Chain A
Amino acid sequence: MNFKHFTTSSILALCALCLLACQHKPTLNEQVKQMRWINPDVFNASKHTRGSLYSFEFDMTFSAVNGENVTVTNCLELALFGEDRVSPPEYIYWQSIKIDCEVVERYYLSSENAVSYWPESFDYELIKQFPATTLPYVGGQTLEGRTGTLSAYDANLKFIEKKNDNQIHVDVDDMDVYYVQLARADFNRDGVQDIFVRMDWYVKDAFGKGTDWVVLTKLSPNSAPMMLWRK
């Protein structure tokens, strides 16, 4: 055997191996997975979740249209109370608790951990990168033709205040919108973590207010956030 040829071949093979190793991207399974998370500011001591949707308890008293006070303590009671029975001024609170129920249900059906491409911080910079349709839908043709990111589409998008680590107040589309990060989890079980965002909205030049939600996903470190579901 030609010793010189053998040595050269070995070195070349070694280099090729090193090159391959350098080019190898970690697969989903090899990446560090993150545990699912639910916002403790929202699901605080007054609203208990003990590991399942069925253990989700709260204590809300609504005024009914007939003038009675009705106290509901879980999602079933809330659904039974029904939107047609709650007095109009308190409808937004009924909706808000209904969204809590929605989050909790999806949260406990999600994978316990998944790969996450979301930045650690929930801030205005992240909201700017959300799809242009990530704003409350109040009717009409509001969402039609909205493409790209929220900041690229809405030149008037304006940061107002960071209320806390998971709540950003923004001026968008003539509304005061509070983007609240409610949970991070792999809601659709594709191995990638998604975020559940509630949007509390108040029309600036009138009296409309309400609450809406979206679930967004981010499939790679460099990909833009995508809309997975909305209310």
Chain B
Amino acid sequence: MLVLASLAEKDAEYDTIKKQHYGRYLASYCKPYTTLVMKDHDIVIQKEKLIAAFYRELVGYYNTKNGFSTHFDAMPLEVQQALLNMSFNLGFTRLKSQYIDMNAHIKKEKWADAALQSNRIGIQTQRNLYVKNLFLKAQASAKKP
């Protein structure tokens, strides 16, 4: 039977994992050091909360007040997906302040140019291609009458 863990137990588990050799081992390495289990339902709730938080940040920046020609919600769906994907990985602050060229192209709705500037370093090629293709798809749709 599952019993709810106390905050102290969660803290203790966190500390135990934190003390392990960081970042060099696969998730399976940490498994023997864990005792608590998170229910799938709670994992989904956490995920939804995070996506909502990222979405709020994107809406707060990608709007006409900041020089964009449209509001985030009015941008092509593919562009919204690309930006959400990038912010989930890079963080909103980095997306806003360090992807200067990409944001300049987004302001002008030049999606193909934005695609070229969306490349991230340190992630797999497939993930970069996924985002690049989202921008290109938005560009292709924009050309249609």
Whether B92 pairs with A139 at a CB distance below 8 angstroms is: no
Whether B91 pairs with A84 at a CB distance below 8 angstroms is: no
For window 98-135 of B, CB contacts with A under 8 Å fall at 98-102, 117, 119-127
Q: Given contacts A91-B123, A206-B89, A208-B91, are A141 and B98 in contact (CB under 8 A)? A: yes
For window 68-93 of A, CB contacts with B under 8 Å fall at 83-84, 86, 88-93
Segment from A6-14, A31-39, A115-123, A197-205 that makes contact with B:
A197-205
Whether A139 pairs with B22 at a CB distance below 8 angstroms is: no
When chains A and B are docked, how far (Å) is the Cα of A136 from the Cα of B98?
13
Whether B91 pairs with A140 at a CB distance below 8 angstroms is: no
Closest to B126 in A: A84
| Residue picked from A90, A96, A140, A142, most chain B C-beta under 10 Å | A140
Question: Distance in Å from the Cβ of A10 to the closest Cβ of chain B?
Answer: 68
Whether A205 pairs with B98 at a CB distance below 8 angstroms is: no
Q: Which residues of A contact B120 (CB under 8 A)?
A: 138-139, 208
Q: How many residues of B contact A (CB 8 A)?
A: 30
When chains A and B are docked, how far (Å) is the Cα of A173 from the Cα of B22?
20
A211 within 8 A of B: yes
Question: Distance in Å from the Cβ of B58 to the closest Cβ of chain A?
Answer: 12
Interface residues on A, range: 35 or more
Whether A210 pairs with B124 at a CB distance below 8 angstroms is: no
For window 1-31 of B, CB contacts with A under 8 Å fall at 22-27
A196 within 8 A of B: no
Q: Which residues of B contact A86 (CB under 8 A)?
A: 124
Whether B98 pairs with A140 at a CB distance below 8 angstroms is: yes
Whether A83 pairs with B98 at a CB distance below 8 angstroms is: no
Residue positions of A touching B, CB distance < 8 A: 60-63, 83-84, 86, 88-93, 95-96, 136-142, 163, 174, 178, 200-201, 203-212
Which are the 10 A-B pairs with shortest beta-carbon distances? A210-B122, A206-B91, A140-B98, A140-B99, A205-B91, A139-B120, A208-B89, A203-B91, A142-B98, A141-B100
Residue positions of B touching A, CB distance < 8 A: 22-27, 54, 87-94, 98-102, 117, 119-127
New A-B pairs, 14, CB < 8 Å, besides A138-B122, A174-B94: A84-B125, A86-B124, A91-B124, A93-B26, A138-B90, A139-B99, A141-B100, A201-B122, A205-B93, A206-B54, A206-B87, A206-B94, A207-B88, A208-B120
